[in-house]
Amino acid sequence: PWFHLRRDTALRLIWVAVIGDWLNLVLKWVLFGERPYWWVHETKFYGAGPAPSLQQFPITCETGPGSPSGHAMGAAGVWYVMVTALLSIAREKQCPPLLYRILYIGLWMLMGLVELVVCMSRVYMAAHFPHQVIAGIITGTLVAEVVSKEKWIYSASLKKYFLITLFLTSFAVGFYVLLKALDVDLLWTMEKAQKW
């Protein structure tokens, strides 16, 4: 609840969410990540042997590419901002060294636990392969780290926000049109999701 009271943290959270989602979309278009429940039916990996039986439920029916994991990426980015913000507050309040050390270890362990649960659930549901959730964690953390180092976001004008939003939207649409012009089927996942 305190995150909305600290403007700098709220701004970082918004930027991490926006840039993270945008980057996730673009990376999914480029990386063409299969989902386990499609891949298992179409791979030649198992040869003549039986493929594992994966059960799909409405909640696990993903219709887009799988790499990197948006859930792992979003959780990593948001938690990174929250943990670093809490540690920054502890430093500002001149927290005693031992208490700060306990807080430091505890918060990073909590983030690790949350990421582990998010990633395990995505792999367990056969929505992602392990490497896709790992890529999501790395990418989300990098986005949060880069955004956290950018000081201009705290004083940006409405015009600058508008121009950045326009750029991100234009880039995504332009990239989509370019890929379509190159005859890249960006809806390849829909057929697989409906088939399996």
Question: Which sequence positions are flagged as catalytic?
Answer: 71, 128
> Is residue 158 within 8 Å of 176, Cβ to Cβ?
no
CB within 8 Å of 89: residues ≥ 6 apart: 6
> What is the distance between the alpha carbons of residues 115 and 80, in angstroms, rounded to a whole number?
11
Calpha distance 64→82 (Å, rounded) = 28
Give the burial class of 94: count Cβ atoms within 10 A of its Cβ; 0-12 exposed, 13-18 middle, 19 or more buried: exposed
Q: Which two tokens stand for residue 72?
A: 């792992």
